[in-house]
Structure 1
């Protein structure tokens, strides 16, 4: 009753209803393209109207049925079958974070250079996420460059399976590898649907296109009983209207179209929805996150809460050149607001240079930012016991609370809490040779990479998986 818990709300009920109505209007008047003939036939049959090769216009009652049938809670487990977290559509859950995603390069903290993303980088990145306590799951960190494209996705999934027991968000670039990747996972652990730890990630083509690979991957995931993430990436002024209102309405319409399709494939299918709204720099022809787009992320999360659908949002990565000041601004705003808003999953932490380069230092820094944000979001109690009337009375005017009962009980909770940097006075800092914050972060990252806490069955998983892939 007297617990203080900070939160951010960005929209009123009336504003949420306005965005919902705008999204429905887009679906009814403009519609969506559905590229795969099978998916198109399924939607046209359900709607009762053929659209030829034109966009399919989706009636609002059709969307509402999908909203009503999708589950509002999804339980996620680890590879060992133990519960990890529950994704809640009512927005009551704490935000959960994962590393990622599909970077083509790797920023080596030891050599301080940028290299193509190789198989051993996949193992290192996954292992890093495994040992950092504030990451709840692992998303595909990169695209392996030293293995043929035909099997790179499969070996990537194998390295993820072997180097962590945490839940996995998997991004498979090639449709031909999608079912084989799921076959590999079933071969390694058996049943993957009863206690789901795999969450396939799919995305439409913005604006308003359900491309064939996306709907086929949705079909395959749903038929295997897996929850899936349907998330769109929109650049305001390029693939979305340049105004925040237009971007939010368009992206919401796309998410509702994906939701509607998922419930057509199988009513009650677990799905996680969300957007990654970005700005587009027309001068340099690149995308980036800004304060406005991070605000849109919170608005999208509140829309999903309105629908009671679990949410997946932005991760604040991409703007920097590694773990630097440029990256830290966006990262801190994203993680802090995600912990205080209605955000659900934050899946793609660790990318820099517009998500082309995976930075281990950035991941370690992010772990600390998540830790600090969660501490802020946890709030505090205002109960009488927490006030400490007895201590105040016994200490009285002019005293101190260094040896009071409450101080003895809680002093460890108030210690300097960084997961990376020590608390140093000026004299102690000078005594340590005046280290820079960057040097301490780099040393911490290298230590973690050099001493991975691999799962006990790592070698067994690798051996079993390689045998499967070579036969």
Structure 2
């Protein structure tokens, strides 16, 4: 299991005054402008809490209710692995953990380099790869396999992920109905719903629809997650110039209002249920009309949002290690590295989309492996510089003296492994004329596929999962 990155560098985009102004602007949007809410249960919860609800399902949330929700939501969160062992602990110490996708619309085949439809069999490849890489802590199961019927994709993808991945599973569902089934399937592995609540090795992902809209699908997913006490991410995807204003501050305020109003509903459904604040404040590229995943503004605003959420004391879910490029080229490396560096310096906690390419159309195993190395490299940067008696080593410097050498000093022997030594990048005395990095990545993938062993589930659990698969496929 990989170790979370240590942050020991002061870095900030928003100062306290800016945070307060954005918060006040978000409260104004919630109190005075309101948010359109779908779903009978969500509307009833808001009404019972004293919110103004119009005939057009516009809900206005008072500041006092938001303050209550911010107090009741847990500030610390522990996520477990499939075996029930603590895997990711989010506290005020502000650790950061990274995750990739178990499945996606398209797959960049690591052998051929060609982009093709994602197939059910590729889930095992992505899960085994993520299971072996030390800086990948979770995968996101999204239900997008081309060769699985759409109405059961969510559940089948989740079952395949459970079979081939031993760490924490993030998941999303294609509809409301499949959410409870996914939770029931996870309970099979956990040993029951009570055990799953006590040691959650899964967490849900869902979104509102900017600007300022919570459709029934979103409100029901929040409520079901809260009722089951399963951690849930609520993540607005605000595109500046499209679904958000063409302004950094305004986009942050709108995104914050959308996420915080989701928090209020979630806490009304089950007070104290675990909630993870997510934010994707990106740009709509006016040349192509895509929502950019590699835009520098996107990752600036993710870092800013993480500061805002740290002010609330909530866990934060962000994005990094992805690219708008279709293949692993210069653009992909530049964008992914910039994003990882930004998020490691920020106050984000859970980071998804590592290895996602072509503005979230495909997942690239080679990029996942490369990002694992980039994360390891940048973890050595963000550890910062400790200054104390032990680290200053004045006694040793005095002992070696002027014109001395440290190569054979016991201190060097003890500490030389603390610096970063790349496994994919080259520091040879004489480098070859052609890059060897792509070959090193390919070799790493082949080694993992041949030699890494994902801890198997026991036979009884596998039999129950197979029964679930058979029931789903018979529909």
Q: Quick one: distance in 2 between partners of 1:401 and 1:241?
A: 57
Structure 1 residues 197-240: Cα deviation after superposition (integer angstroms, max 9, x where no partner): 11011110111111111111112111112111111111110011
- Unpaired runs of 5+ residues, structure 2, are 1-5
SS in 2 for 1:363: helix
SS in 2 for 1:322: coil
Q: Find the residue that maps to 1:85 and give its secondary structure.
A: strand
Alpha carbons 1:126, 1:141 under 8 Å: kept: no
Structure 2 match to 1:229: 233
**Distance verdict in 2 for CA 1:64–1:101, change over 3 Å:** farther
Q: Scaled by the length of structure 1, what TM-score is found?
A: 0.93
Please say if 1:60 is aligned against 2:69.
no
Q: Once superposed, what is the RMSD of the aligned Cα atoms?
A: 2.0
Deviations 1:102-158 (A, max 9, x none): 520101011221121111111111111111001111112661110111221111001
Residue of structure 2 equivalent to 1:457: 457
The structure whose RCO (Cα within 8 Å, separation 6+) is larger is: 1
Verify the 8 A CA contact 1:126 1:164 in the aligned structure 2.
yes
User: Take 2:132 and 2:8, find their aligned partners in 1: how far apart are those partners?
Assistant: 28
Going from structure 1 to structure 2, the CA distance change for 1:318 and 1:411 (only over 3 Å counts) comes to closer
Matches within 5 A, 1:59-78: 59-78=62-81
Tell me, what secondary structure is at the counterpart of 1:206? coil
Corresponding position of 1:411: 416
Question: Which of 401, 407, 411 pairs up with 1:402?
Answer: 407
Asked if 1:440 is matched to 2:440, the reply is: yes
Further displaced range: 261-270 or 445-454: 445-454
Whether contact under 8 Å (2:163, 2:457) holds in the other structure is yes
Structure 1 residues 139-148 or 26-35, which shifts more?
139-148
State the match for 1:301 in structure 2.
Answer: 306
> In 2, are the aligned partners of 1:388 and 1:406 still within 8 Å (CA)?
no
**How many angstroms apart in 1 are the aligned matches of 2:51 and 2:178?**
34
Structure 1: runs of 5 or more not aligned? none
Distance in 1 (CA, whole Å) between partners of 2:53 and 2:396 is 75
SS in 1 for 2:332: helix
Contact preservation (8 Å) 1:193, 1:224? yes
Pick from 273, 280, 284 the counterpart of residue 280 of structure 1: 284
Q: What is the count of residue pairs matched by the alignment?
A: 462
Structure 2 residue 165 is the aligned partner of structure 1 residue 164: yes
Report the TM-score, using the length of structure 2 for normalisation.
0.93
Q: Work out whether residues 298 and 343 of structure 1, in 8 Å CA contact, stay in contact via their aligned partners in 2.
A: yes
Query: 1:93 is paired with a residue of what secondary structure?
Result: coil
Deviation at 1:460, TM superposition (A): 6.3
* Cα distance change on mapping 1:60 and 1:348 into 2, 3 Å: same
CA distance in 2 between partners of 1:4 and 1:58 (Å)? 36
Q: Deviations over 1:390-438 (max 9, x none)?
A: 2222222122111123112212223x52242353221xx44xx855322
1:168–1:128 distance in 2 versus 1, CA, 3 Å: same
What does residue 44 of structure 2 align with? 41
1:214 corresponds to 2:212: no
SS of the equivalent of 2:47 reads: helix
Distance between the aligned counterparts of 1:180 and 1:408, measured in 2? 54
Matched residue of 2:197: which SS? coil
CA gap 1:370/1:142 in 2 versus in 1, 3 angstroms? farther
